[in-house]
Structure 1
């Protein structure tokens, strides 16, 4: 005979069983209602809606019902697929609608649908060939094409959600979408699906400058590899390649900390090959320039002589939209790198810069100064003293008062006088550089010209000649009239301040 304690345990088990049965019955009723209301979903899939992109007239309660329709345990494929399509259309709405989607748990379903193992718990996934063979013994069958369609709609929905605030991006990352999206790209041969998945991942990448862990997560799961593979297998789709290269530049260089060098070693050689294509977009060149705007040590490891020669050749391109980013890239890779600067000089860099300086386009003139300013100190003497480039840029400056050009000019002269030796400075004085600096003693360029004159006066071999030139031009009187406060005087150096 059972004791009272045993009877109580049995009664408790019976109560729990009854509660579970009632709960399961309730879910079944909701699932049956989902099937009945399945036709109602189609009401919103009108051509008029698709053309106008009107927000679906759903309430928060109806969004919660859509979450019930997406439960694979109680719904057939058609119901789930139509529900996901509704979510994809609905995800073009406001942030309020997104909060409903997240609250209802729909994002969790969307991420789960990316996982083939998860879907296979509830459906028998068959190849497209076997799916057309009637077999009544197999229930809940779906074809691989149907699975791909469901995953595609899920990815597009996640893409829409990831375009919102960083909080939503953090939410889908926490759900584990990164490894599942990358696994989907690697397992799928459909380029459209691969590209859509890359767009979804790129929303996370775009926010990596705010949360560096996003970048680390992407890199650790092989995001860079799938971007490179996409470029290799879709090199005829220029617009998509442009977007992918932009993603690479953000991933590796547009953060507070630069990515480790091994990732640059993977990316830059692949992108360098694209420079030799017959069709090349200015967008790609800008992305490449951003990717090279890193530590010189990284560029030295990954930039080849063929790449530098091609970039120098692009300075003669017929389009200024290609010339300027090519110029910026050359400036990046030549900075503090004598080997790569030598390759660029041997490839005819100075001839191209001379053409820029004689151009009527002020943007090209400014780029010429950027390139010259990037030449390392060890090689600057050969460029300044032993070539015709210096008289050319000084002559250009006398007749060009454009505000695009002047900052680059004075910055380059300051660089020469700061890093150069007495031979360079004497050469500049012979070419009337004091007169040019005298003309720049105005509000906008006063500080840089004063600092440059101070650097010149600190070189003993050049000091006497410079003072004579400055006295002849009444430079000291002009400096006194232009200086408005003592703080500026202190910043220009003890030598010049004592002469005043």
Structure 2
């Protein structure tokens, strides 16, 4: 039976849940590679501000720069021009429109094609990445410039630096919404990602991959297809094995996004990922604990069988010490998780009782913040609705014992 018919508690306020998770707007999730640019400027010893003054607002200078960037017969001058464009676009008040109006986008697309040098490709892809990090109209111009299929091919390129930057650029395009996401995925991005996660990569590259998968998984309407969800599972399993906190956190939230859609919970369960997510509840990093519990909480909003798959992974053994953890968000997530277990079968309710969790649940009902108390109240309510007479009587005894001993 679908537990949605048994007083399932999806968290009551999904907007509130998203605020707890730290989700931000589309624009903020796009990444402009500006910090790295600043570091490289020191090495190159270039006075970028002086060059901006020389180039703008004189559009003729921008045209000359475009001509130099398009001149493949002089590769050194071409590389220097593309590098200068990249430096300009990396600035806070970048002259993006002026450069685009002078024909820079098709030139950059030409520069990323496979017959060019990796160094030229890197500078051009880097520039496209930063343009795509801007407002939607700029992202759209990059997406429709012919760059996307080339960028997807570059993800499989032998030069890891170029591949890393290419997937960064694609991540910014994907993050512009479901239409851009499906447009990029239509060029076959998933297989190159699967190939990459099996390779030995710098951790910064792996973080980019996890971030891009997170963008693919975002819960837009329409959600990403079930086929894509299935295809990307092997990459998620590999990424969860990393010890890097950022990689693991982004990967858990990608899985969390998939499991917010009820039709995809079974795909996650069948992938064999659940035991690994459960093990991450024991992480030393609180944010990873919170993310793991929230992700598993989505799964237990599903059917009784899906809930049992989580319980069979020994999740409840972590909770006796975590139910009263000083981190309020973690406690909220755990109470929400347990409220959904109590909407399950009598045997599942008994597992919670046998794990010794009723006393800390009752203490949260008494001493937690408002949200914790609300979620703990749902635990009690669902137990009363779905538990056996013996289980309800046991809960009443625990309540009385706590009341007379506080």
What secondary structure sits across from 1:254 in the alignment?
Answer: coil
Offset, 1:344: 2.6
What secondary structure sits across from 2:198 in the alignment?
Answer: helix
TM-score by length of 1: 0.63
What secondary structure sits across from 1:344 in the alignment?
Answer: helix
**From 270, 279, 282, the counterpart of 2:235:** 270
Aligned partner of 2:145 in structure 1 is 175
Aligned partner of 1:232 in structure 2 is 198
Aligned residues: 356
- Gap change, CA 1:359 and 1:160, over 3 Å in 2: closer
Offset, 1:150: 1.7
**CA deviation digits over 1:104-144, x for unaligned, max 9?**
0111111122234xx6xxxxxxxxxxxxxxxxxxxxxxxx6
Aligned partner of 1:344 in structure 2 is 310
* Structure-2 separation of matches of 1:218 and 1:379: 43
* Structure-1 separation of matches of 2:339 and 2:154: 47
What secondary structure sits across from 1:57 in the alignment?
Answer: helix
Aligned partner of 2:217 in structure 1 is 252
Computing the radius of gyration from Cα coordinates, the structure with the larger value is 1
* Structure-2 separation of matches of 1:426 and 1:365: 25
- Gap change, CA 1:92 and 1:103, over 3 Å in 2: same
Work out whether residues 309 and 344 of structure 1, in 8 Å CA contact, stay in contact via their aligned partners in 2: yes
Aligned partner of 1:111 in structure 2 is 109
Unaligned runs of 5+ in 2: 1-42
What secondary structure sits across from 2:55 in the alignment?
Answer: coil
* Structure-1 separation of matches of 2:324 and 2:81: 64
Work out whether residues 182 and 221 of structure 1, in 8 Å CA contact, stay in contact via their aligned partners in 2: yes
Work out whether residues 289 and 326 of structure 1, in 8 Å CA contact, stay in contact via their aligned partners in 2: no
Aligned partner of 1:367 in structure 2 is 333
**From 176, 190, 207, the counterpart of 1:207:** 176
- Gap change, CA 1:372 and 1:158, over 3 Å in 2: same
**CA deviation digits over 1:365-421, x for unaligned, max 9?**
323212212327342554258535453234313651434522321233344455567
1:149 equivalent in alignment to 2:143: no
Larger RCO, structures 1/2 (Cα 8 Å, 6+ apart): 2
Unaligned runs of 5+ in 1: 1-44, 120-143, 437-500
- Gap change, CA 1:81 and 1:242, over 3 Å in 2: closer
Work out whether residues 246 and 287 of structure 1, in 8 Å CA contact, stay in contact via their aligned partners in 2: no
Aligned partner of 2:55 in structure 1 is 58
Aligned partner of 1:198 in structure 2 is 167
**CA deviation digits over 1:192-227, x for unaligned, max 9?**
11001111111101212xxx2201111100122222
- Gap change, CA 1:419 and 1:296, over 3 Å in 2: farther
Work out whether residues 219 and 258 of structure 2, in 8 Å CA contact, stay in contact via their aligned partners in 1: no
Work out whether residues 214 and 250 of structure 2, in 8 Å CA contact, stay in contact via their aligned partners in 1: no
* Structure-2 separation of matches of 1:242 and 1:394: 37
- Gap change, CA 1:293 and 1:174, over 3 Å in 2: same
1:241 equivalent in alignment to 2:206: yes
Where do 1:299-338 residues align within 5 Å? 299-304=265-270, 306-338=272-304
* Structure-2 separation of matches of 1:46 and 1:323: 42
Offset, 1:258: 1.5
Aligned partner of 2:377 in structure 1 is 410
* Structure-2 separation of matches of 1:153 and 1:310: 39
What secondary structure sits across from 1:255 in the alignment?
Answer: coil
Work out whether residues 88 and 153 of structure 1, in 8 Å CA contact, stay in contact via their aligned partners in 2: yes
Aligned partner of 2:25 in structure 1 is none
Aligned partner of 1:127 in structure 2 is none
